[in-house]
Amino acid sequence: MNSPMTRRKQSAFASPPAGSRPFRFVYFTGPGDHLRHAAYHEQLVIAEVLLQRLMHARVRGVAPVRRHLHDAIERDGFQRPGPDRRLIDPVELMRWVDRDGFNRLRPLSHEQLVQELIAQQGVSQLRAINLASSRSHALPDADQAWLEARARLPCLQRPLNGSEYRTLVRALEAAWAVPCGKADECAANAEIALRAAAQLGWLHAEYAASPFHGAALSLAYRTAHHACLARRAAFAGAAELRLRFSHAPPQLKMQAKLARQRTQHAALLADPARWRLAKMPPAVRRLHTAMAA
């Protein structure tokens, strides 16, 4: 029986199956510990489940998390309008109803809605973009496709939206804050929370600020995130260097150059030296910048 509430103390990582390294926290099994620390155990279970979903998403090749897509955005983006169409904004209604008045199988994305507004109302592209953004819940193509793919997966294998990501962050912060009197018995949970925070730092291909409030978890996240972005910048630089002296088309060389610049900029934003510089007094910061130049 491997119930979270009856599992014995174990090391920071259980023996992982092939291809995955599941996070397993330590639960208190002493007399009365479950009732006394029920809220703490609940946060541990939440963290384990959500971390396992991230791993399944990475194995499937799906983006593990979209931090900007919260529950309300997902609900509004896929909630069909009511039967009384007079109460619905015409732009929002256009997402769900075609030109013949029949319901669409899936809502139009933001890009598709812009083209539909141009075709039906004859407005300019700038005006169509403004209407689609301000008077509808249309989602960009990439976000809508990600949400649709996410909905087709089993519940325990779905990647995380922004709300679930925040829930995971809160659960890891709770796991890090071991209950008073249990620090020696359950020091492994703090170590596992640090490893999980570092794992989150490797999820984002673009710069993303640390979601943690605690200094230790935030440092683990930022260190791993910088390592991830620095590696991507090194790969992009090597790819551009190979193309620079090849017979590749100029458009391909330009794309490689832009990719290299974008990844280097993201790595610079996550550079630990930038954090230390931001904490310096203004006079010391100016001197440091002048000496570096």
Question: pLDDT tens, 189-239?
Answer: 889 999 999 999 998 888 999 999 989 999 999 999 999 999 999 999 999
**5 pLDDT higher than 50:** no
**185 pLDDT higher than 50:** yes
pLDDT of 286 reads 58
For 233-284, what is each residue's pLDDT tens digit? 999 999 988 988 888 888 998 999 899 988 888 888 888 776 655 555 565 4
Instruction: Map tokens 């570092």 to a residue.
Output: 198
Q: Which two tokens stand for residue 280?
A: 């310096």
In the structure, what pLDDT confidence band is assigned to residue 107 with cuts at 50, 70 and 90?
Answer: very high
**94 and 113 Cβ atoms separated by less than 8 Å:** yes
Backbone phi, then psi, for 178, in 5-degree steps?
A: -60, 135
Mean pLDDT of 122-129: 94
pLDDT of 283 reads 56
Query: Would the pTM of this model clear 0.75, i.e. be above it?
Result: yes
In the structure, what pLDDT confidence band is assigned to residue 10 with cuts at 50, 70 and 90?
Answer: very low
- 80-84, 126-130, 148-152: least confident range: 80-84
In the structure, what pLDDT confidence band is assigned to residue 62 with cuts at 50, 70 and 90?
Answer: confident
pLDDT of 4 reads 43
pLDDT of 35 reads 72
For 71-106, what is each residue's pLDDT tens digit? 999 999 999 888 887 888 899 999 999 988 899 999
pLDDT of 126 reads 95
Indicate the domain borders of the chain: 1-77+139-203, 80-136, 209-293
More confident residue, 60 or 71: 71
Q: Which two tokens stand for residue 145?
A: 């496709």
For 153-180, what is each residue's pLDDT tens digit? 999 899 999 999 999 999 999 999 877 6
**53 and 171 Cβ atoms separated by less than 8 Å:** no
Torsion sign (Cα): 175, 177, 180, 185: positive
